[in-house]
Amino acid sequence: MTSVDPQQPVVILGGFLITAEAYAPMANWLMNQGVVDAEVVSVSRYEWLLTSWGFGWRRVLDRVDEVVQRLQAKSPNGKVTLIGHSSGGVMLRLYLSDEPFQGRTYAGAARCNRLISLGSPHQAVRATPLRAMVDRRFPGCHESGVDYVAIAGDLDLESAIASKFSRRSAKGSYRGIAGSDDVRGDGLVPVQSALLCDARQLIQSDTAHGGFFGSTWYASPQRLEAWWRFTLD
């Protein structure tokens, strides 16, 4: 397994339409654990809407690259950890590659040696064209020098944790991504989609996709601590 310094800086890219303040407690918690710095990539809701197109992805990934290179200077080993929630986890797989995209080559694997994805729709029967492109061009753990860690949530839709929105919409989302609603998931992304092929994998019970989907999600303190400890094993 790739050797990762637990103190190296962390760059967090959130999910579609979720702004940076939702991840600020995660960044603060990580710094309290000894991470030298943790920063959330700032993406507005308007900028997330633009990610329906390739130029929108480049706009976000250019910002990721700027933050990575800035925090890399603070790293004890010159490496950075990436955390991507939901769509952010898929986009960061592209960032790691040295193949050109929209006239830019990021080659993030030269600077980043771990990618942690949280409820990211990696494999899908039906995916947006750009997500499908990532899984086609960069399948599974594409970069050999990167430790890929995939975290999936398993939410009981009948539990008190699940929101009314999850109870109404989860089955349709699962059917759209996995081709069946008879699967487990976090209220939006099926477990089988979130567990990137060949990555180190953790399924967290009673975990919703985000605060809109349930009262306990990947950034809730008890879930955050559990998956962070898992990544350090």
pLDDT, tens only, 152-201: 999 999 999 999 999 999 999 999 999 999 999 999 999 999 999 999 99
User: Distance (Å, rounded) from C-alpha 90 to C-alpha 123?
Assistant: 10
User: CA-to-CA distance for 208 and 186, rounded, in angstroms?
Assistant: 5
CB 70 within 8 A of CB 82: no
- Which tokens hold the place of 32? 């309290």
Domains of the chain plus CATH, in order, are: 10-232 (3.40.50.1820)
pLDDT in tens, 5-63: 999 999 999 999 999 999 999 999 999 999 999 999 999 999 999 999 999 999 999 99
